[in-house]
């Protein structure tokens, strides 16, 4: 399976900021265990690929 880019710049930024905030809040013990879901958001932002987007045929990048 070839991993092709399907995240746009704004989508990646939102995932990095939101995912990072969730991880920090989980580390501080404020939101609990579900905050570790933020790691998935951060990882998909760094990979520039979202497997769920691929399943539904959705892309947020304009040049891919």
What is this structure's pTM?
0.87
| Residue 26 lies in domain | 9-56
Does 62 fall in a domain? no
For 11-19, what is the mean pLDDT?
98
Would you put residue 7 in left (φ > 0), alpha (ψ -120 to 50) or beta?
A: beta
pLDDT over threshold 90, residue 52: yes
Does residue 61 lie in a domain region?
no
Task: Determine the pLDDT at residue 1.
Answer: 66
Residue 21 lies in a domain: yes
More confident residue, 64 or 11: 11
The domain tally of the chain equals: 1
Residue 12, CA distances (Å) to 2, 17, 33 in order: 20, 9, 23
The verdict on residue 2 lying in a domain is no
């Amino acid at each position: 399976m070839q991993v092709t880019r399907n995240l746009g710049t704004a989508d990646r930024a939102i995932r990095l900021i939101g995912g990072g905030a969730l991880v920090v809040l989980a580390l501080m013990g404020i939101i609990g265990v579900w905050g570790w879901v933020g790691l998935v958001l951060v990882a998909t932002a760094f990979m520039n690929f979202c497997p769920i987007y691929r399943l539904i045929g959705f892309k947020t990048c304009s040049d891919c």
